[in-house]
Amino acid sequence: MPRFAANLSMLFKELSFIERIAAAKDAGFDAVEVLFPYDEPRHEIAKALKLRNLPLILINTPPPNWTGGERGFAAIPGGEDRFRHDFKRAMRYAGALKSNFIHIMSGAAEGPAARSTFVANLRWAAAHAPQQQLTIEPINTVDMPGYFLNDFDMALDILSEVAAPNLGLQFDAYHAHKIIGNMLATWDKCRDHTVHIQVSDPEGRHEPSSRIIDYPAFFAHLDAEGYRGYVSGEYHPRGRTEDGLDWIR
């Protein structure tokens, strides 16, 4: 089976943020990821991770206010200074927490100017932080209306255009199903560019266990291919997180 990670922004929400780290370890997860850790003191998160010997594998570039705010702004023309400022903030957190990846969110935008802005910002970020692994992720426009990076072919084209060794694809099986409808065919196209995987059920974004996507077969497929990254559960539990973890066992 792959190495599994827990998204602490969605799982174990009945607990405080710091308590979720211990809960993830006790539940059998091999690592954790966090969408936006910026409201928590870096040293407290680092202390809890070290205590439980649990790696943090991914954080997102920070919108200044996620609640009701923009979903990133790396593709928004005119927002370059804002992007660079907040990317440096993300780097400080990634360094303190030893995060494997920083996911750079494009934000809501469209057209050639947005694409050029996104490519330029990605090139700057990759050059500014050559030792930090970065990701981009296609997100469906039902969940995030207007999101610029909403297509897997576009993502692969942009990765090729930026051509940075520290920039890869974040493959979310949920978004692949929503955007394409055939997750496995999309994976076959994207596998060589993928550095991180996220999973959830396509209906309601709950535990990846309904068999709309045959996740046991997908995990076996990953093993057969020699995938060595993490597979992160990024979903909304139907009830208590601990009651829906058969999928990692």
Task: For residue 137, indicate whether it is catalytic.
Answer: yes
Using CA atoms, how far apart are residues 201 and 210, in angstroms rounded to an integer? 7
Task: For residue 33, indicate whether it is catalytic.
Answer: no
Torsion of CA 89, 91, 93, 98, to 10 degrees: 180
Using CA atoms, how far apart are residues 102 and 119, in angstroms rounded to an integer? 16
Beta bridge pairs of residue 147: 108
Those residues with Cβ within 8 angstroms of residue 78's Cβ, 6 or more apart along the chain or in another chain: none
Do 154 and 190 touch, CB atoms closer than 8 A? no
From residue 68, give the alpha-carbon distance in Å to each of 65, 84, 125, 144.
Answer: 7, 21, 26, 12
Tell me which residue of 227, 164, 223, 165 sits closest to 190, measured CA to CA: 227
From residue 92, give the alpha-carbon distance in Å to each of 43, 85, 178.
Answer: 11, 11, 33
Considering the candidates 40, 44, 234, 242, report the single residue annotated as catalytic: 234
Considering the candidates 44, 137, 161, 203, report the single residue annotated as catalytic: 137
Rg of the chain, C-alpha, whole Å: 17
Query: What separation, in Å, do the N-terminal and C-terminal C-alpha atoms of the chain show?
Result: 9
Q: Give the active site residues.
A: 137, 234
